[in-house]
Amino acid sequence: QVQLVESGGGLVQPGGSLRLSCTASGSTLDYYATGWFRQAPGKAREVVSCITGSDGRTYYADSVKGRFAISRDNAKNTAYLQMNSLKPEDTAVYSCATSRTVVAWWEYEYDYWGQGTQVTVSS
């Protein structure tokens, strides 16, 4: 059974940084696609960033390009989302997910989800 556990969320001031971690068990993140998603109160869940299995191609939502970076440590079976220059509009519950395919760019392609971690950007 695949389990994903996120950590690293919290309260940060605008302009600050956080690094989210997603550790997997029961699946190998270096082979399958991994994504980070977020859901703000009253809004639909949206994709933030994805990374393909094997060759590590990445995708970023326009709203986070240049500020966020997705990465993966295969030895630790952990994916990361480095978030810099945070803005109040980045406030949301962030969840990681993994697919049963190597490439997955859309939410419906993800099969396993973590419980989420709250990120709050406020002064």
pLDDT at 58: 95
pLDDT at 1: 84
Using alpha carbons, list the distances in angstroms from residue 15 to 33, 108, 122. 29, 32, 10
pLDDT tens-digit map of 16-56: 999 999 999 887 787 899 999 999 999 999 999 999 998 88
pLDDT tens-digit map of 52-99: 998 889 999 999 999 999 999 989 999 999 999 999 999 999 999 999
pLDDT at 28: 78
